[in-house]
Amino acid sequence: MNITIPQKFKDRYTKLVDDPNNFFNILSKPLQKSFRVNTLKSSINEIRERFNIYGINIKQVPWYSDAFISESLAVGVTLEYFLGHIYIQELTSMLPPLLIIKELQNAKIVLDGCAAPGSKTTQLADFMKNQGTIIANELDYARLYILKFNLERIGVINTILTRYDMRFFPNELEFDVILVDVPCSGEGTIRRDPKALSNWSENRILRYVGIQKQIILKAFDLLKPGGHIVYSTCTFAPEENENVVDFLLNKRPAKIEKINIPKIKLTPGIQEWNGKTFNSDIKKTVRIWPHHNDTNGFFLAKIKK
Amino acid sequence: MIKKCPSKKQRLVFNYLEKRFGIKRDSFNDFNLYTEEKGKIFLGPKTFINRCISIGLVIARIDNSIEPSNNLLQTFGKYVKKNFILLNKEDALSYIKGEDLEFLQDEIKEATEGYVLLKYSNFPLGCGLLKGKHLKNMLPKAKRLKLEFL
């Protein structure tokens, strides 16, 4: 895969990453193909059995038993794909719902604030066994159509689709759990999209920060006391990550919770960036570097009200 | 605008699903029915909010008659007791590709004319409209696929 990594990008992240050479090298390697079993319609054993009959090799992901890796493109032309027994999804995108799997067992109402294309919404519905209610919100009309299509294919019934700018989501309801996979500069997606860094600049990063801050505040205000937010981005930039969570901590009585997923390497959030020091709880947030687990880049924070 | 389905319309839908497919009303106990101006019937969560774009699954459309959706038959196919057709591998591949099918009388003995569920092995594939020995494919275009593994 041919990619150009801007020198400024290299300079910036050499300061942040543990092993710059490995990090920059893996960015030009294509992403592993992965999918998740939809247990609303099928089971891990059934999928294993069927793919074995087809002769398609699949390998279970060590940190999430519903997830599999396959080097074969054929996964998308199987009966199981057609029937919605599996959902093709990047590994890092499976993490936000996984962080709140326990909280979802008792959740009555959940908001997926930036829901399209529906990977996380369908996973939430799976964890909630199609019970309770999910509000899946998406502003972009074309992406709303894709979201609807994916929900139908997976057999999700407990979901209501809304179309609001998440910054101005109406205050009528309070939620037990809110996912905000916010719009971001997308640096971590380069293994899927080789052009992800073609317009890269520090100014481009800063363009997203305002909207991210507004979304995280709005999400917190929509939460029931004791409820949880998972804030996530697919970018490395501390401005869009630690900085945004730190902003919330300064504005609201939010608590950051420790993230613990066995068998995946997570790097704690940083305490200082470009001369700015963050709240000490920010180290409970995590960054996923692509070379640690052979994935995309990602950032996660689990927040409690 | 989507709103709660009036009880008369609910009865109409539930009676149709039981009479045509043998799907019992209690299969839907966890959910509510909703409707909108164009006659779509949605099966969704019991919580409802105004100004939503869509809710749950579209399970049918009521015009002059009731048309069950592909979503309904694929998701609730395991409860279907009658008016289904079991396809062989070749026909299942053609159906999923979006083609209409022709049957021999013997192959459609579990079905009468009207909407039917197409099955392959134990898998509910989707909806078709049976007229005589001809099956019109009701699989939405966006869902059609050329499968390589079945």
pLDDT digits (tens, 9 = 90+) for A225-262: 999 999 999 999 999 999 999 999 999 999 999 999 99
The answer to whether the Cβ–Cβ distance between B49 and A172 falls below 8 Å is yes
* β-pairing verdict for A109-112 and A59-61: unpaired
Q: Give counts: helices (H), strands (E), chain B.
A: 3, 11
Determine the distance from the C-alpha atom of residue B7 to the mean position of all C-alpha atoms in its chain, rounded to a whole number: 21
Q: Is the ipTM of this complex over 0.85?
A: yes
**Contact between residue A234 and residue A189 where contact means Cβ atoms under 8 Å apart:** yes
Q: Which of A14-18, A194-198, B17-21, B33-37 shows the lowest per-residue confidence on average (mean pLDDT)? A: A194-198
Question: pLDDT confidence of A163, banded at 50, 70, 90?
Answer: very high
pLDDT at A197 over 90: no
**Contact between residue B126 and residue B118 where contact means Cβ atoms under 8 Å apart:** yes
pTM listed for this prediction:
0.96
Q: Residue B86 in 3-state DSSP?
A: strand
A54 touches chain B (CB under 8 A): yes
User: How many Å apart are CA A166 and CA A147, to the nearest integer?
Assistant: 16
**What tens digit of pLDDT does each residue of A84-125 get?**
999 999 999 999 999 999 999 999 999 999 999 999 999 999
Q: Residue A86: list chain B partners with CB under 8 A.
A: none
A82 touches chain B (CB under 8 A): yes
Q: Is there a cis peptide before residue A238, judged by omega within 30 degrees of 0?
A: no
Long-range Cβ contacts of B4-9 (<8 Å, 24+ apart): B4/B32, B4/B33, B4/B34, B4/B35, B4/B48, B5/B32, B5/B33, B5/B34, B5/B35, B5/B41, B5/B42, B6/B35, B9/B33, B9/B35, B9/B41, B9/B62
- B43, B52, B142: residue with CB nearest A157: B43
- A82, A130, A153: residue with CB nearest B147: A82
Q: Residue A133 in 3-state DSSP?
A: strand
DSSP string of A251-272, one letter each residue: HS--EEEP---TTS--EEPPSE
